[in-house]
Structure 1
């Protein structure tokens, strides 16, 4: 019964994703860093940096699915969540755009390496099917959204849990920080590729971050709040999976022999 409910929610997310694919406008400056925007040297550099994380992520996903096959639906949910949120774009810096990332949830659930694969698959589908991002710039987009963001979410979550034990606060901050770091890294990538004539990389980085901040800070806060709501839903309908991942404690079973007189 529980698996049927999860499948229904996955179908709903898929339909929402299809809606965005069909109806969202496609401006000249597509989501992420668009195809051909980076010089070839930088495009190759980010591919080389990102590929080892993707390979390690494949090993992590293989281990997770072999040890706990029942987590496949939750993996699919994390991927669908990332796809839907990262399809919500707001035009921003030339050659890129602002949008939620959705990678924080998967990073908390399965770790940053597993999320590097899920995030990369999302970026690949968006580049091929929606013309958002690109294949030559996939390495750069991988590093910012599928690697740096998830690692930030994972460590922020662990730090907050160890220091305060407040899980919902940890989820909120982890997701929001992952979103912000994704765009700090994107700004850094653009600044390296296109340094300002006066002030170089630092001046260019300051300009990109300042422009991104107008849209990205509110988006990061909104994504954090939404992810907390999704977390509450997971606790209600997927508590066994969360217990398996050791993210919540197993509740003691009530004795059926104790009844009110």
Structure 2
């Protein structure tokens, strides 16, 4: 009965997320967080693709292991992917003329580990590039490194650090989601700075400029994403307790 109720609530949550997305995103010229198609020089675009692909392969193995050993968590995998898609598709205008976005990768990183999110996050970015014109295909590697690799790695590390220090699960979830968001933007700023160094001050000056542009809206947005992720985590604890226990056991086995 609990499992059936969980599926119903998951479906309602997903539908509500899509409704919210289409309500607040009327057709307009996009200035997305994701680096747009053709913006990076070819050499840098290929470099980030090469850096991303090994993480994608490791992530495929990670997800396969989780699903084979615990097929009952398939629904949670879908929820984590949908959560990332809906949140990261929201475009929030910045005072600088660009846009800021939630990322939604913290939740999946906590549930399945950072490498699984390299697959889920890249699939999210691919669908957004094809369906919503966010990001692009040549820049997919760069966007995946920032949102699907670095963000989840930071989220998982923060979560484990606070949890091991007995800082409380909710605090750990909040900090993981918020720092994953910020780490994604720091990485994006670095990617842009490396590709377009300033004439005066070089890469560091360019990085400070890009990071400053994003920080105005991104810091409060990261806090909001952390709070929302805590709410979703509480819901998962209430309706998917058995599946979460299975995931914890699997992570304990991997650490031995």
State the TM-score, normalized to the length of structure 2. 0.91
RMSD (Å), alpha carbons? 1.8
Greater mean alpha carbon deviation, residues 20-29 or residues 106-115 = 20-29
Query: Residues 118 and 144 of structure 2 are in contact (CA less than 8 Å); yes or no, is this contact kept in structure 1?
Result: yes
After superposition, the C-alpha distances for 1:198-220 in whole angstroms (9 at most, x for unaligned) are 11110000011111111100011
For 2:6 and 2:89, the matched residues in 1 are separated by 22
The equivalences for 1:83-122 within 5 A come to: 83-92=85-94, 97-122=99-124
Query: Residues 37 and 135 of structure 2 are in contact (CA less than 8 Å); yes or no, is this contact kept in structure 1?
Result: yes
Secondary structure at the aligned position of 2:48 is classed as: helix
Q: Alpha-carbon deviation of 1:197?
A: 1.1
For 2:75 and 2:106, the matched residues in 1 are separated by 17
Q: CA 1:40–1:115 in 2, change beyond 3 Å: closer, same or farther?
A: same
Determine the structure 2 residue equivalent to 1:15.
15
Determine the structure 2 residue equivalent to 1:185.
187
Determine the structure 2 residue equivalent to 1:4.
4
Where do 5+ consecutive residues of structure 1 fail to align? Answer: 248-261
Structure 1 runs of 4+ off > 4 angstroms?
92-96
For 2:33 and 2:186, the matched residues in 1 are separated by 15
Q: Alpha-carbon deviation of 1:246?
A: 1.8
For 2:13 and 2:149, the matched residues in 1 are separated by 23
Determine the structure 2 residue equivalent to 1:153.
155
Q: CA 1:94–1:35 in 2, change beyond 3 Å: closer, same or farther?
A: farther
Greater fraction helix: 2
Determine the structure 1 residue equivalent to 2:242.
240
For 1:23 and 1:205, the matched residues in 2 are separated by 30
For 1:28 and 1:126, the matched residues in 2 are separated by 12
Determine the structure 2 residue equivalent to 1:257.
none
Kindly tell me the number of residue pairs found equivalent between the two proteins. Answer: 247
For 1:163 and 1:28, the matched residues in 2 are separated by 42
Query: Residues 117 and 146 of structure 1 are in contact (CA less than 8 Å); yes or no, is this contact kept in structure 2?
Result: yes
Determine the structure 2 residue equivalent to 1:214.
216
Out of 58, 61, 64, the residue aligned to residue 59 of structure 1 is 61
Query: Residues 18 and 86 of structure 2 are in contact (CA less than 8 Å); yes or no, is this contact kept in structure 1?
Result: no
After superposition, the C-alpha distances for 1:162-199 in whole angstroms (9 at most, x for unaligned) are 11241111111111111000000000001111111111
The equivalences for 1:31-50 within 5 A come to: 31-50=33-52
For 1:90 and 1:193, the matched residues in 2 are separated by 25
Q: Alpha-carbon deviation of 1:243?
A: 1.0
